[in-house]
Structure 1
Amino acid sequence: MLKALFSLPRSVWLLGLISLVNDSASELVYPLVPLYLSGVLMAGPRVLGLIEGVAEALASLLKLWTGVMVDRSGRSKPWVIAGYGLAGIARPLIAFVAGWPLLLALRLTDRVAKAVRAAPRDALLAANIGPGQRGLAFGLHRAMDNAGAVIGPLLAWALLSAGVPLGQVFLWALIPGLLCLGLTLAVREAPPPATAPPRFSWTLAGLPKPLRRYLVVVALFTLGNSSNMFLLLRAKELGVAEAQVPLLWAAVSGVAALFSVPLGGLSDRVGRVRLLVVGYVAYATFYIGMAAWAAPGWRLYLLFGLYGIFMAATEGVERALLADLAPAEQRGTAFGWLNLVMGAMLLPASLLFGWLWEGLSATVAFGFSAGCALAAALLLTAWVRPAATMR
């Protein structure tokens, strides 16, 4: 495993390092936005919902558009530079916000920046690695991204514990932002595919049938994969102290970072579909446990550890499987569709989960999510037929 890992191209490692640095800045800021909104700007949950909902909706559409533009131009690097650069500028400017409309504008800029870089980065990563190592490469990328998700909250906690004012903490995001921008300039562009992409269609008609079926499976699973904020709310409801909630989430990212590489590499040998099925089943088990078995202490930490395993088994593998299913000349468009489906389903998933929780019970809400995951696992096994080596 180590030999294969260190044999990965320089571009794969560099893109992983960029994600680590960027996510450190992103997760330094993200947990503090609700605190800043309510404690400094005196705005409530409705404004927070408006900000995040508008930002994610626009980002979902842009992710597809930039993927299509990558295929048409044959270039990914300019989009990657622009995406990381915009985010690096927007985050520290939150320190100077005096009203929520400006915060909305900055969060929108940050989400737009993510949308601009997401599909081009994944397409660039796929172009730099062969099919036999895609799982390992995407697993490494997700591991480094999750490592950044551990560093960010811990850094925020350390700065606040040292007495740094909340507003000034946002300014610290400038340092990793500038470092991230510098690293993107060192990324090498991949050679364009020899075949020109077909004309884009909103009906998905130009994409291979297994890829279209896979997107349906992803949509079904994502319908039960609501905002992670509900998991933290459930932990708080079960009795976890507020100060420990961010640390609990940092631990999840730590588990995901630890297992993403070995599980991604395993998908190169046993098949992507099998690994994704295992991940979906782990997700269903976690949600059933959160509904009926969770309790403060070792049970809750065991369940959140299982959630980290789910992330490790799916985040990189689902992108590697998409790269297997997409022709080289349509890779950017395919990653754009994947990001669009995930982003577009997040809003109805969260609204439905919240309605089930408040209208019926937490058990019903968590049970529905588990059911979606199990149904997606069955559909993936029976319906999606990638190449024999990737089953």
Structure 2
Amino acid sequence: MYLSASRAADAAQGLPAPGRRSAVPGTVLALGLVSMVTDVSAEMVTAVLPLYLMVGLGMSPLAFGALDGLHQGATALLRLAGGRIADRTRRRKLVAGTGYALSAVCKAALLAVSTPWSVAAVLAADRTGKGLRTAPRDALISLSCPPGEQGRAFGVHRALDTAGALLGPLAAFGVLWLAVDGYDAVFTVSFCVAVLGVVLLALFVREAPATATGPVAATRPARPAFRTLLRSPGLRRLCLTAALLGVFTVGDAFLYLLLQRRLDLPAAYFPLLPVATAAVFLLGALPAGRLADRVGRHRVFLAGHLPLIGACLLLLAPWPAGPLLAVGVPALLGLFYAATDGVLMAAAGPLLPPDLRATGLAVLQTAQALARFAGSLLFGAAWTLWGPSPALWAAAAGLLAALAVAAWRHPAYLRARPPGAA
């Protein structure tokens, strides 16, 4: 459906044709397919990693919190480097491809390590690849469509990306079920799939079209341009909001570990827990993007944190474990991602000049990643000192308070419609 008429539009300028509601650009679809394949690879590893580290290698909750924070935020500065290099060279595809290739190599490296902190070193390198590629990739998406359709474009990309997140845990489950040496087999298959993603990027993704501001930006001094970007009030507000909420965002891995304990789930079935999350994310990403284009991306982004609070409260509920808990927690987590992940990037894109699009998105992603890094450390420490239930109560209360502060501090953002909205 989205493929029709997109190639002609891309061939012209990489933008949808004016005057009509056009198909999603082919660049967005190609990047979505690359992300889908790469996510199959990544989620195969992510699905088994918490159990592998905490049960197989005996890592404590505090140590796992540090590792999970590293996994999310320790390479945050590389997002800035990737975005800045991509904007300075205007080779966003090349920078993104380097990040994808590095992550693929790290999947093979997991076969050679066997201690918790050697695994942590490989994961840090893998996150380096993700840090390099994320901002250039999102800049390619943002530059391929007009401001009024940013939410829809990011929704389509995130839906395809999440299809990989849905298939990855299923693939890991199948490999663990069939293979004798299950974890090594998962890492091997993950590496092969990651290589396929790099090949798809090289063959089918095109560089963003040159913009009117591009040649001018190339002659401007880099530092003043970057300072101008940081002085943007819209970007500052988004960064502060994302960071405030990120500190109290409980990571998926912690929620899945707590759910596995409540359900007393066998280890072989653990990779299935993210499947419901991915399915809901897949179904909700495009509708959430369209809704954000119509009613306001900041409203949808803030409201999207309410399902995460609901997931925490559901885990804390006193009733016995059952189907409601098994399906409800992953589904609420999927709603959270559908309403926040792509929507945040769509909110930022129109605020940024084309020649600094990747850099600006990297600044926002870095702020969020560093906050989530701190949040993982705090939650792991709270779990170790107080136990899982008090830690969850504290996270849910903190997130609710952060939402109230964000809505109170920026009421104009909640009333505003996105650029180009009907």
Name the TM-score, length of structure 2 as normaliser.
Answer: 0.82
Kept in 2, the 8 Å contact 1:200–1:206? The answer is no
- Which residues of structure 1 form unaligned runs of 5+? none
Residue 394 (structure 2) aligns with: 368
How far, CA to CA, are the matches of 1:193 and 1:266 in structure 2? 28
> Contact conserved, 2:85 with 2:95, CA < 8 A, in 1?
no
Tell me the equivalent position of 1:174: 191
Match of 1:211 among 211, 222, 235: 235
- C-alpha deviation, 1:98, in angstroms: 5.6
Contact conserved, 1:12 with 1:128, CA < 8 A, in 2? Answer: yes
Asked if 1 retains the 8 angstrom alpha-carbon contact of 2:48 and 2:270, the reply is: no
Match of 1:390 in 2: 418
Are 2:350 and 1:318 equivalent residues in the alignment?
no
Q: Say yes or no: does 1:250 pair with 2:275.
A: yes
Q: Is 2:327 the counterpart of 1:299?
A: no
Retained in 1: the 8 A contact 2:65–2:380?
no
Asked if structure 2 preserves the Cα contact closer than 8 Å seen for 1:227 and 1:350, the reply is: yes
Cα separation, 2, equivalents of 1:37 and 1:286: 24
Q: Of 291, 297, 307, which aligns to 1:266?
A: 291
Residues 112-123 of structure 1: pairs in structure 2 closer than 5 A: 112-123=128-139
Letter in 2 for 1:274: R
Question: Does the residue aligned with 1:296 lie in a helix, a strand or coil?
Answer: coil
Cα separation, partners in 2 of 1:202 and 1:74, compared to 1, 3 Å:
closer
Quick one: which amino acid aligns to residue 174 of structure 1?
F
Of 72-81 and 215-224, the range deviating more from structure 2: 72-81
Other structure's SS at 2:140 match: helix
Which deviates more, 326-335 or 309-318?
Answer: 326-335
Aligned partners of 1:279, 1:57: CA distance in 2, in Å?
A: 21
Q: Name the structure 2 match of 1:191.
A: 209
Q: 1:223 aligns with which of 214, 238, 247?
A: 247
**In structure 2, do the counterparts of structure 1 residues 37 and 376 end up closer, same or farther at CA, with 3 Å as the change threshold?**
closer
Change (3 A) 1:169 1:147: same
Q: Which moved more, 1:345-354 or 1:72-81?
A: 345-354
In structure 2, stretches of 5+ residues that fail to align are: 5-19
CA change 1:153–1:220 in 2 (3 A) is: same
Q: Distance in 1 between matches of 2:91 and 2:319?
A: 48
Residues 1:336 and 2:362 aligned together: yes
Render the CA deviation track for 1:277-298: whole Å, top value 9, x for unaligned: 3212222233233333564113
CA distance in 1, matches of 2:351, 2:388: 37
Query: Secondary structure at 1:210's aligned position in 2?
Result: helix
In structure 2, give the amino acid aligned to 1:181: V
Q: Return the alpha-carbon distance in structure 1 between the equivalents of residues 51 and 384 of structure 2.
A: 24
- Identify if the C-alpha distance between structure 1 residues 149 and 366 changes in structure 2 by more than 3 Å, giving closer, same or farther: same
* Shift, 1:34, TM fit: 5.2
**210-219 or 245-254, which moves further after superposition?**
245-254
1:327 aligns with 2:353: yes
> 2:47, 2:270 within 8 Å by CA — same for their partners in 1?
no
Question: Does structure 1 residue 236 correspond to structure 2 residue 253?
Answer: no
- What is residue 9 of structure 1 aligned with on the other side? 25
Distance 2:148 2:309 in 1: 29
Shift, 1:56, TM fit: 4.6
Distance 1:143 1:212, change over 3 A: same
Q: TM-score, normalised by structure 1?
A: 0.88
Deviates more, 1:98-107 or 1:176-185: 98-107
Q: Distance in 2 between matches of 1:375 and 1:328?
A: 35
1:142 is aligned to 158
How many residues align? The count is: 390
Q: Deviations over 1:282-323 (max 9, x none)?
A: 222332333335641133122432221121111111110111
Structure 2 match to 1:286: 311
Per-residue CA deviation, residues 34-86 of structure 1 (Å, 9 max, x unaligned), is 5555788x564477666555555541110112112222222211111111111
Q: Which amino acid aligns with 1:279?
A: G
Secondary structure of 1:214 counterpart:
helix
Verify the 8 A CA contact 1:214 1:384 in the aligned structure 2: no
Partner of 2:85: 69
Q: CA deviation digits over 1:337-359, x for unaligned, max 9?
A: 12211221123212222333444
Q: Note the C-alpha offset of 1:268.
A: 1.2
Q: Which residue pairs with 2:17 in the alignment?
A: none
Residues of 1 paired with 2:295 and 2:418: CA distance?
Answer: 7
Indicate the RMSD between aligned Cα atoms, in angstroms: 3.0
Distance 1:172 1:194 in 2: 44
